Every structure is written in C-alpha cells, then in structure tokens.
Amino acid sequence: MIKHQLFYTTFLFLIFTFSISAQVQKSLKLYAIVGGQVNKFNSQFNTNLPSQISSFSLGAGSGYYFNRLNIGTEFYFSNGTNSNSNFKVDYSGMNTSLFIGYNILKNKKLLLEPALGFSFLNNKSIISNKTSFQNQYYSNNQLGLTPSLSISKINSSGIFYGLKVGYNFSFNANSYWKDENVEANSMLNDNVGSFFIQFTTGSFLNLSKKKS
C-alpha cells in the first residue's frame, strides 16, 4: 500500500512539475546602454575642483525572463572630467552587475520593472596638476547593491526602447583611494556610490516552444 501511495504521489508531482514548466513563457532580452552617471567625491582629491563629476556611460546587458521574472547581467563604462586653471581630473569607471527584476505590469508590450543587482564598482581617477605638470593615479574598487527602476516599450517585431534610473550603493560607504604611484592606500576616502540614468534599446527573443 505504501509503495502504491508513493508511486501515485511521485506520478502526480511529475505531472504537476511538467504542467508548470510548460506554462512558463521564456524569453531572452539583449540590449545596449547609453546614459549618464553622477559621482560626488567629497575629498576633491585635495584640489579645488568641484566634488561632483558627471560621466557619459556606454554598455550592454542581457536578461532571461521566466514569465515576468527577469534574471540578467549588465555592464557599462563611464568617462567624465572636471578641470579649472590649476587642476584636471579624468574619471573612468566600469560597473558590472548581476540582477533580478520583476515586471509588475501584465501588459506584454509595456514593462515596468523594479530590480536589485549585486555589483562590482570599479573607479579610476587621474589628477593632473597644471602648474607642476605632475599626475596622480588613484583607484577604488568596491562591491555594492544597485536598486533600479526601468520602463520599456516593445513593438510587434520584438524591438524595445526603454529608460532606466538607479543608484549604485557601495557596501563600504567611505573607502580609501589607492595611490597607484606608490601602490598603497592614500589618505583620501570617498563614497563611490553613483546615481545613473540610462536609455536602453534592444530586442526580445522568444525561447518558448510554439505549439504546432
């Protein structure tokens, strides 16, 4: 009797699992990223430069959808500069993120997705002294979380256009910049978190098997 019950239970579980799997709509999203990022470095790198740096960003991403659940990864590069008569800072960054999101709308042609990413924040700055003609090289690499909100419109061909806003939170709120000239931590510390806004465009690929 126990064997029969175990057999029927296993049989029903397999049918249930198969039916749930068959109902899942799977799709792949591939896209390009163009946008901007804003950092505020209160240390000002011991100069009289403004603390805020605005950067141009360019990158790419992908997302795998299970119905409205989205698991994906993306990266983008940022470059910005500040200067005055005495100093110049050239900032460059690369942010890489593994994220999970969810489309809160049931409309298949319009997506509104809050998401949370686990991110690696790579930051580099070159400080140029225009008087002494000397350069200082700094780096600051941190792990963090990236909450974001995006909205996307999909056309009949699967091409989409979207807008995304978010913030990169560093786990270490005030971290020291590494002085690459001496390969040791400097006395400069900053929060390397950043606000970003991005325009995204790409395509959706339907991975679900079509019924014949």
Tell me how far apart the terminal alpha carbons of the chain are, to the nearest angstrom.
41
Torsion of CA 34, 35, 41, 44, to 10 degrees: 80
Please tell me the predicted confidence (pLDDT) of residue 173.
84
Secondary structure E strands in 171-210: 175-179, 184-190, 194-206
3-class DSSP assignment, residue 2 = helix
Cα separations in angstroms, 172 against 35, 119, 168 = 25, 13, 12
* Gap between the Cα atoms of 212 and 200, Å rounded: 34
Do 87 and 51 touch, CB atoms closer than 8 A?
Answer: no
Do 87 and 129 touch, CB atoms closer than 8 A?
Answer: yes
What's the pTM? 0.83
Q: Which two tokens stand for residue 96?
A: 């890489």
Query: How many angstroms from the chain centroid is the CA of residue 12?
Result: 41
CATH numbers and ranges of domains, the chain? 26-206 (2.40.160.20)
* Gap between the Cα atoms of 200 and 21, Å rounded: 30
Please tell me the predicted confidence (pLDDT) of residue 106.
86
Please tell me the predicted confidence (pLDDT) of residue 212.
47
Do 208 and 35 touch, CB atoms closer than 8 A?
Answer: no
3-class DSSP assignment, residue 22 = helix
* Gap between the Cα atoms of 101 and 153, Å rounded: 16
pLDDT by position in tens, the chain (length 212): 544 444 555 555 445 444 444 557 889 999 999 999 999 999 999 999 999 999 999 999 999 999 899 999 999 999 999 999 999 999 999 999 999 999 999 887 899 999 999 999 999 999 999 999 999 999 999 999 999 999 999 998 999 999 999 999 999 988 999 999 898 999 999 999 999 999 999 999 988 765 54
